[in-house]
A and B are shown apart, each in its own frame.
Chain A
Amino acid sequence: DTAVSQTPKYLVTQMGNDKSIKCEQNLGHDTMYWYKQDSKKFLKIMFSYNNKELIINETVPNRFSPKSPDKAHLNLHINSLELGDSAVYFCASSHHAPTGDRGTYGYTFGSGTRLTVV
């Protein structure tokens, strides 16, 4: 079973279009995230949701909007796509706080969606 799954894996679209990327996690995590990875591999956080509340909203264009129908899903909607939006987008999930023994914890990432805007 895939822990964090996102679809589609590849997305090629024209400038100006609106598109969505879906993400689902079956780990029982209470926080989900969207990251953008550019061509230099830099990971930039875009959003996170904890119990349906947006808790991080970095300075991303308002053309990007996260939508979380429930704790296991966090979809990313992008309006009026631009060439600069081309990147790999990763969904991730985690517990908001460490487990009781403060053991090893971290984000579990999906396999990514490569978005190409032409």
Chain B
Amino acid sequence: QQQVKQSPQSLIVQKGGISIINCAYENTAFDYFPWYQQFPGKGPALLIAIRPDVSEKKEGRFTISFNKSAKQFSLHIMDSQPGDSATYFCAASSTGNQFYFGTGTSLTVIP
């Protein structure tokens, strides 16, 4: 059973555009929602994370939007650059427990 559902599977965006990746969960015990970025040949790396007590977190061009009532959260990449081309994973966990990863989104930013 997939604990975290992620969409789209792949995304193509023009340079300078906004990339949006969505995730949804069911387990209301989840209280931590990180996003990971994975480049080819590398392991996933923590990008940004949010807790459900805030609705938005921004770090540079990356923003997480969180909707607790809808049990959804999304990653927005503003001014997308070719260097952002990678696979992105959302994840969720409850304190002290394992992370459940989404199925990944392959982002391609076209110059």
Contacts and interface: CB of A to CB of B under 8 A. Distances in A.
A43 B38 CA distance: 11
A30 B34 CA distance: 20
17 contacts: A41-B103, A42-B104, A43-B44, A98-B96, A102-B51, A104-B34, A104-B49, A106-B34, A106-B36, A106-B46, A106-B49, A107-B46, A108-B46, A109-B43, A109-B45, A112-B41, A112-B43
A92 interface: yes
Nearest to B48: A104
A109 B44 CA distance: 6
B74 interface: no
B101 A43 contact: yes
A45 interface: yes
Interface string B14-53: 0000000000000000001010101001111110010100
A56 to B, nearest CB: 6
A92 B38 CA distance: 14
A43 B43 contact: no
Interface in A32-76: 33, 40-43, 45, 48, 56
Interface in A1-46: 4, 33, 40-43, 45
Interface of B: 32, 34, 36, 38, 41-46, 49, 51, 87, 89, 95-96, 98-99, 101, 103-104, 106
B49 A111 contact: no
A96 B93 CA distance: 12
Interface residues of A, number: 24
Given A92-B43, A109-B45, 6 more contacts: A45-B98, A96-B96, A97-B95, A106-B36, A107-B46, A107-B99
Contacts of A96: 96
Interface string A81-98: 000000000101000111
Contacts of A40: 103-104
Given A43-B44, A92-B43, A112-B42, A98 B98 contact: no
Contacts of B41: 111-112
